Amino acid sequence: MIAAYLIGPGKIEFRDVPEPGPDKGEVVIKIKAALTCGTDLKAFQRGHPMIPMPGPFGHEFSGMIAKTGKGVKKFKEGDEVMGVHSAPCRQCLYCSKKLYNLCKNIMSTKVLGAYAEYLRIPEHIVKQNFFKKPSNLTFREAAFLEPLACVVHGMSGLKVGKNDTVLIIGTGPIGLLHLLLAKSKGARVLMAGRKKARLDFALGLGADAAVEAGGLENAVKDFTAGMGMDHVFECTGRLQVWESSPRFARRGGTVVMFGGVKGGTSASFDTYRLHYDELMIKGVFHFTPADVKEAFSIICAGLLVKSLISGSYGLNELPLALSRLGEGDGLKFAIEPER
């Protein structure tokens, strides 16, 4: 089979490697769609600590069961499936505290290699985070399960609800997934970003208002009658935005730092507001099996994730798709090996 390997920043090799076989409890899927994402783009451009190089590449996928290992009962050859690339070990101290997204082993046992013709799914993922794809979903839509699970996790516990005010800073695919999810919960959403075309796109997806970054302070005042936002979601991963995000929250509001900043970076906040206005600043990482299950239900209910697909490419065109993303051209591309 053909599989894409990330060799180093800017360099992808397409290798002819043996088709994987499943061990006990595992399945092998024929990839139907793998989606590009911001993490993969960062890895392609400059490397990423969670994506070893050289190594297999890609982690948002859907497909069809090609082979099943001994003991697999939930799936059979030919089933159309969707899943994510990780699952907790259920044995470490973090798992014992039900902090499944922080599992000590979750990153070391994750699966990379969705940019390929076939992908082997380990038993712990098959048992916890793998589903049959409903016939009403396309493979492209089904491949959104992983990024949506991350967004679901970021909103978990916040009780975002009808008429809550939500500010989303960043109009990339993750910011737009936050928009779709917040609107599905009945919130009023203000989108902020640097590109007018993306802001117009967000309005078309249902944002109640949109503003370029320079006018954000006044826009928040107008949107909330001077009160400030119930919830602020930082989706850029830029230090300056991290530091400014708490300014836009109301007293008792929540600020979620979704975008990742380079390790070792320090951020500064107004301690007076943090203390006397009782702000909650929350970091979020990855997802739990409960988040994945919720994301599966949301996608099956018809969340308009397909609107975020900018086009599709064959497997051998992956470098072109990533280069386009790096130039700001497109949101997400579907990589389809059979194309």
What contacts 251, CB < 8 A, 6 or more positions away?
228, 277, 278, 279
Residue whose C-alpha is closest to residue 336's, from 308, 303, 309, 314: 314
Query: What tens digit of pLDDT does each residue of 119-166 get?
Result: 999 999 999 999 999 999 999 999 999 999 999 999 998 989 999 999
The pLDDT value recorded for residue 262 is 86
The pLDDT value recorded for residue 212 is 94
Residue whose C-alpha is closest to residue 85's, from 54, 112, 103: 112
The pLDDT value recorded for residue 152 is 97
pTM of the model: 0.96
Query: Within the chain, which residues score under 70 in pLDDT?
Result: none
What contacts 335, CB < 8 A, 6 or more positions away?
33, 34, 35, 36, 58, 115, 312, 313, 314, 315, 317, 318, 321
Residue whose C-alpha is closest to residue 213's, from 165, 260, 170: 170
Q: Write down all domains in the chain, each with its CATH number in brackets.
A: 2-143+304-335 (3.90.180.10), 157-283 (3.40.50.720)
The pLDDT value recorded for residue 23 is 96
Query: What tens digit of pLDDT does each residue of 154-192 get?
Result: 999 898 999 999 999 999 999 999 999 999 999 999 999
